[in-house]
Amino acid sequence: MKINNKKLIFLASFEDASILRKFTILFLITSIIPMVLLYYFYTQTASNKHLGIPTINFTYAMILMVLGVFIGFISIRSLLVKVIDISKQNSKALENLLSPETVKELNQGENEIVVLSRSFSAVTQRLEENVRSLQLAQKTLHAVMSKVGHGISNMENIDTFLELILETLTSALNGKVATIMLLNDKKTELIINNVYGANYDRKKKIHLKLTDIPAISKILSEKDPVTVSSVFLQNSQNPALSELFGETMLCAPLVFGDSASGIMSICKETGPSSDFSEEDLGLVFNLASQTAVAIDNSKLNRDIEKTYFETISALALAVDAKDQYSRGHLDRVADHALMIGRRLGLDDDDLDTLRDAARLHDLGKIGIPDEILKKDSGLSDEEWVIMRRHPEIGESIIKPVRSLQHLCDCIRHHHEKLDGSGYPDRLKGDEISPLVRILSVADVYDALTTERPYRPRKSKADAITILRSMKNHLDQDIVNIFLEGLEEKENLT
């Protein structure tokens, strides 16, 4: 029993021994066998003088055999040492490439050669995974860049572009909802500006106080993308937020220059594949940085366009002020047009268009010579030809500014008439848009009730009669709404 135990202990320790020790033991055992056989053969034949081998020859044979075995042992051993060194270096490299735990797992109870082959297999597997992941990331990036490029060339405004970015991001990462939140001017709140994947009324923007969302505030100050739990929902009273954010959300700061102007976030459906990878974090961070640049450029453009609008408004007022008879015409037309628009129930965008178009509708008079503009007597046919160019001149000043292009229709067509006798395009009936019809009524009424060098101002009653008689020129439904408004206003005062 004791012997068996000893045998087992010996076998176990032999099994655990390094490959170098195993080789030494096995080599010695296998080398001794031919020597023992040679000695046996020598002793068996030594007594026979015919078959006997001379002692000197046997000694030489033994020396040669020992020498051969020794050289063989040294050569194979040095080869093995090299293989073991490679294996050790490989282990160190693997610890960097894989994890130390994985390498430890590979080493368990195995010799260096087995570890080496397993290591190569693990490395190959990891490389294959990396290649697959890179190919996927490349495809995703390609899709994102192509959509973003297409969006930039076709975008109508920054919000269309931002929504396109969110749509692309959501499809690239298999997300559910993506949002862009922008810091307010005081940098105390995040305002949810754009949402893709959930219902969100942009007109009723949700404001989130930074003090209520410390995890998000931290991203803004540290400017690093992270995956956070949407715990801030628990602090919020707004039920709409739970639709916009999942359990976990990947947030990346919109960094431009030294500061962050907001957050881009994406959430996945709740479930086993709701986690985000390092590649996802990198993709969202890069996209957020590009988006921050686009937002900043858009703000810059908005400022420039605002300055341009203010400049040309000042020019239009200057032209208005030049004519002592029509001074204040632009503001009065704007007031009349807005009154009609409100009574018709137009939305805020249309009312803004009406107001701005009214203030700029005669801007083109800047291109009309003063002698025509200030002429005391009636204009000649040639002078009327020149005067009738002012709608087109006005349009040509406005047209290059993208944000003012929506005013072009009103400015170009405010002298068109329903029967097609107006200018410059002789539009008829429905070809004249509702906003232009409103502006025309307001413009004609103010012209009638203003003194001209060639005629006195009309009384209100006469002006109303004339407006009602212009059935072929003005939309009578709008005339009626305007007159109702005028009456109401008069009763109030």
Report the interface residues with Fe ion, using CB under 5 A.
362, 443
Which amino acid is present at 79?
A: L
Choose between 443 and 475: whose C-beta lies nearer to Fe ion: 443
Choose between 176 and 413: whose C-beta lies nearer to Fe ion: 413
CB of 215 to Fe ion, least distance (A): 57
User: Which residues lie below 8 Å from residue 20, measured CB to CB, with a gap of 6+?
Assistant: 77, 80, 81, 84
Q: Which of 351, 319, 332 is nearest to 463 (CA)?
A: 332
CB of 326 to Fe ion, least distance (A): 7
Phi and psi at residue 266, in whole multiples of 5°? -140, 140
CB of 178 to Fe ion, least distance (A): 47
Distance CA(387)–CA(254), nearest Å, equals 51
Choose between 163 and 443: whose C-beta lies nearer to Fe ion: 443
Choose between 268 and 390: whose C-beta lies nearer to Fe ion: 390
Strands of the 248-256 sheet, one edge to the other: 207-209, 189-196, 177-183, 259-267, 248-256, 226-229
CB of 358 to Fe ion, least distance (A): 9
Can you spell out the DSSP letters for 134-148?
A: HHHHHHHHHHHHHHH
Choose between 197 and 394: whose C-beta lies nearer to Fe ion: 394
Assess contact for 331 and 356: CB atoms under 8 A.
no
Choose between 45 and 313: whose C-beta lies nearer to Fe ion: 313
CB of 449 to Fe ion, least distance (A): 12
CB of 138 to Fe ion, least distance (A): 58
Phi and psi at residue 18, in whole multiples of 5°? -70, 165
CB of 456 to Fe ion, least distance (A): 18
Distance CA(30)–CA(311), nearest Å, equals 103
Assess contact for 320 and 326: CB atoms under 8 A.
yes
Rounded to 5°, angle at Cα 324 from 323 and 325 = 90
Assess contact for 147 and 166: CB atoms under 8 A.
no
Choose between 176 and 414: whose C-beta lies nearer to Fe ion: 414
Can you spell out the DSSP letters for 25-92?
A: HHHHHHHHHHHHHHHHHHHHHTT-TTTPPPHHHHHHHHHHHHHHHHHHHHHHHHHHHHHHHHHHHHHH
Choose between 395 and 443: whose C-beta lies nearer to Fe ion: 443
The terminus-to-terminus CA distance of the chain in angstroms comes to 123
CB of 411 to Fe ion, least distance (A): 9
Choose between 165 and 330: whose C-beta lies nearer to Fe ion: 330
CB of 361 to Fe ion, least distance (A): 6
Q: Which of 32, 10, 40 is nearest to 22 (CA)?
A: 10
Classify 300 as helix, strand or coil: helix
Choose between 356 and 362: whose C-beta lies nearer to Fe ion: 362
CB of 189 to Fe ion, least distance (A): 43
